Amino acid sequence: MQDDQEKDKIESLGKYVVLEEIGRGGMARVFRAEDPDTGGSVAVKVLIPELTAQISFVKRFRREIETLRSLEHPGIVKILDVGREGLYQYYVMEYMDGPTLEKRFRLTGKFSVPDALDMARAVANALQYAHSQGVIHRDIKPANIMTDAAGNIKLADFGIAKDIEATRLTVTGGIVGTADYMSPEQAEGRRVTRKSDIYSLGVCLYEMLTGKVPFTGKTYLDVIRAHRFTIPESPKMLNPSIPGRVARLVESMMEKDPDKRPASAGEVIAQIDAIEHVSATLTDEERDSAREMVRWALFPASDWKTATLRVGIVVLLAAALVLAGWGAKYRYLTTAGYKFGLGMEALRSGRYDKAGAYFEDVTYFHPDSPESARAAKRIKEIRYITHRKEPARKIEFEKPDAVDLYNDAVAMLEQGRREEAIQWLSRLSVDFADTEGGRRAAEKLAALTAAEGKGKSLTPPPLSGGLPNGATPIDASGNASEDAAAESPLQHPVQSPHDGPAAEPEPRK
């Protein structure tokens, strides 16, 4: 290894005296050198000699030189000179005597929120200028964000850094820094835009705030796949001290869809400025007032007036919560009543499946409401009616309370629906003859007949248009009449909540 280092040692390049190597990549090496004209330090980037025979790498190196020459901005490393000596092609740029962002991570870990925002704003400023000149960096990462002793922040390595890392990947097959900051569209080989740089800057900001990159993996492809398909954990989950607006900014910069990211680097700057403006709007007096309010809320009262005021506030808050609860309960109960009403309308029109669905909603979603018990009874009735109309269907059912059915018949009488009520009472007197409801129905029917003084049997004549759908006429003896059934066409159900009696009466016990 030492022999290789001695072999690769460069003492000078043109007029520049090489002092030390400060960086090495897959395609180039960077040295700190001395400029004899000024006596100051400069950085010299040299293309690896083995690659000078490959035209594609030479073109990329020259393209980076041309890009840097076209960019003059205080946030971008300035190019000073270009030269060639023997096998070495190089260019000279200003030397940054501070650590790169990558080295600062290793030294300090995550940044404070203000420092991270300042760093992101400086890089966004440089990107805004570069984008305005038609240049897309394509390789924003901590190693390319440089600082000097005065705290200035500058962006380096325009144009070929992405290609350098891609070449190194082909050779080594391992993970390199670029994969951790690569935008989804860049990973997929799609067209790279200004918003690709915004995504990469968002990943850098994420790392500055949390101390870790959003995605890791055992291989390069694992990381690339995560950038394409995995939603990163919110930075606020990893660092609760991050303000919500800052976390939302980072998340928006790292959207998978470029259209959902900030429209430009200028918009990123505007959002950072807005965040800092909100933090700086409180005056010292307002901060003191806020502290007093917190102290007042957290510490015991010092006199009876303060204590009374606090109790009053607590009572008002409790009252507001109670009223809100009553409102929610009222809405909850009225919703149950509304559903029950819809079920009754469906039941009256003979739509048993629809009615059953409404009643089951009431019992399931509103078990504590008054309508729940009533809905449960209606469900029993629907199951009974459905079973009687369709004997072949094996439906578990529970016979409804005949007294409730009798009360419904009485309600029909009160509503003036006499014929329907008499028909219903007749059914009850036969199908439920051994129950209290059936006996009361028979008595009521006898009373109605006696009141009319007609001396007719308890079974009234069929309603006009035939019996309800699925009903069988019943003769005076209480037995089903098959002939009458054959002569009676099936019609729509009677407008009653209990249409559809038995096809045949149940045998008496």
What CATH number does residue 77 fall under? 3.30.200.20
What is the reported pLDDT for 174? 35
- Calpha distance 507→509 (Å, rounded): 6
SS3 string, 151-165, reads CCEEECCCCCHHHHH
Q: Are 122 and 7 in a shared domain?
A: no
Q: Are 106 and 90 in a shared domain?
A: no
For 12, the 3-state DSSP assignment is strand
Q: Are 107 and 82 in a shared domain?
A: no
499 within a domain of the structure (yes/no) = no
**DSSP state, residue 447:** H
The residue from 94, 120, 150 where one domain ends is: 94
CATH of the domain at 214: 1.10.510.10
* Rounded (5°) CA angle 163-52-127: 35
- Calpha distance 215→213 (Å, rounded): 6
Q: Are 51 and 194 in a shared domain?
A: no
49 within 8 A of 87, measured Cβ to Cβ: yes
Strand blocks (E) in 50-157? 79-85, 88-94, 145-147, 153-155
Phi, psi of 386, rounded to the nearest 5 degrees: -65, -40
Q: Are 115 and 251 in a shared domain?
A: yes
Q: Are 145 and 274 in a shared domain?
A: yes
What is the reported pLDDT for 284? 58
Q: Are 184 and 240 in a shared domain?
A: yes
Report mean pLDDT in 10-residue bins for the chain, 509 residues: 53 91 85 92 91 85 87 92 90 91 86 94 95 89 90 79 36 49 88 92 95 90 90 90 91 94 95 81 60 58 62 80 64 67 79 86 79 85 66 41 78 83 80 79 86 53 37 37 35 38 40
Q: Are 153 and 250 in a shared domain?
A: yes
User: Strands 41-47, 28-34: parallel, antiparallel or unpaired by DSSP?
Assistant: antiparallel
153 within a domain of the structure (yes/no) = yes
- Calpha distance 238→84 (Å, rounded): 49
What is the reported pLDDT for 190? 85
Q: Are 70 and 194 in a shared domain?
A: no
What is the reported pLDDT for 456? 45
Q: Are 61 and 199 in a shared domain?
A: no
Q: Are 81 and 179 in a shared domain?
A: no
488 within a domain of the structure (yes/no) = no
Both tokens of residue 509? 């016990």
HSE-up of residue 375 (Cα within 13 Å, Cβ side): 28
The residue from 69, 94, 119 where one domain ends is: 94
**DSSP state, residue 211:** S
Distance from CA of residue 29 to its chain's centroid?
46
411 within a domain of the structure (yes/no) = no
265 within a domain of the structure (yes/no) = yes
141 within a domain of the structure (yes/no) = yes
**pTM for this structure?**
0.54
Question: What is the domain count for the chain?
Answer: 2
Q: Are 56 and 123 in a shared domain?
A: no
Both tokens of residue 443? 């008595």
278 within 8 A of 245, measured Cβ to Cβ: yes
The residue from 250, 280, 310 where one domain ends is: 280
Q: Could you tell me the CA-to-CA distances from 39 to 10, 34, 93, 98, 242 in Å, in that order? A: 19, 6, 15, 19, 45
What is the reported pLDDT for 490? 29
SS3 string, 344-407, reads HHHHHCCCHHHHHHHHHHHHHHCCCCHHHHHHHHHHHHHHHHHHHHCCCCCCCCCCCCHHHHHH
- Calpha distance 466→428 (Å, rounded): 19
Which of 3, 139, 222, 408 is an active site residue? 139
498 within a domain of the structure (yes/no) = no
Place of tokens 């059936």: 438
What is the reported pLDDT for 325? 64
Assess whether 431 carries a catalytic annotation. Answer: no
165 within a domain of the structure (yes/no) = yes
Place of tokens 């005296």: 17
The parent domain of residue 53 ranges over: 2-94
Identity of residue 62: R
